């Protein structure tokens, strides 16, 4: 964002500059302003903005205080930063394995093993979900089997203990 010059409004046709950046100076353009020119005279000075003298001379980049030109990558400009790496997508079968552990546990076991195989081959995330789905599916399936075995034993015991009597 550029601020208006002292006593004036900003030029809407000039490109907006990032905060703290100076516009680049093109000596061949009649529309660009010399950043080293004195505000009163408009004449170029000795390399420092607004007529300030420096014992070290003008900056080598042509920009005041060593700032980079607008549009070039550098510190403080968002497009110069490397893109953040997106996290790997979560494997759908891993999610389904966890869900089916509560709905129909044997299907959760199958989906959990398929999810682990897919995760190893594709590099997707969801290893923990698949493991949790497998553990829960195995536990719930074993509880179902124990309950079924208990009922079978009870029915067999009930049939064997019944007495046959004829009247």
Per-residue pLDDT of the chain (167 residues; tens, 9 = 90+): 555 556 566 666 766 666 655 556 566 666 666 555 555 554 544 444 544 555 555 555 555 555 555 555 555 555 555 667 888 899 999 999 999 999 999 999 999 999 999 999 999 999 999 999 999 999 999 999 999 999 999 999 999 888 766 66
DSSP state of 54: -
Angle at which helices 105-122 and 92-103 pack, to 10 degrees? 170
Contacts of 58 (CB under 8 A, 6+ apart): 36, 46, 47, 48
Distance separating alpha carbons of residues 88 and 121, to the nearest angstrom: 13
Distance separating alpha carbons of residues 152 and 143, to the nearest angstrom: 14
pTM value surpassing 0.75: no
**3-state SS, residue 104:** coil
């Amino acid at each position: 964002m550029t601020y208006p010059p002292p006593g004036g409004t900003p030029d809407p046709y000039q490109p907006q500059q990032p905060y703290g950046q100076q516009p680049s100076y093109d000596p061949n353009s009649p529309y660009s302003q010399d950043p080293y020119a004195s505000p009163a005279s408009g004449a170029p000075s000795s390399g420092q903005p607004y007529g300030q003298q420096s014992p070290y001379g003008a900056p080598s980049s042509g920009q005041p205080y060593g700032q980079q030109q607008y549009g070039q990558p550098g510190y403080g400009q968002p497009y110069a930063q490397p893109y953040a790496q997106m996290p790997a997508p979560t494997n759908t079968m891993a999610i389904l394995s966890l869900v089916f552990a509560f709905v129909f546990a044997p299907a959760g076991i199958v989906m959990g093993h398929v999810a682990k195989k897919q995760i190893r081959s594709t590099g997707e995330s969801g290893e923990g979900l698949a493991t949790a789905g497998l553990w829960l599916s195995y536990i719930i399936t074993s509880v179902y089997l124990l309950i079924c075995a208990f009922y079978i034993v009870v029915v067999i015991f009930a049939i064997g203990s019944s007495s046959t009597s004829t009247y």
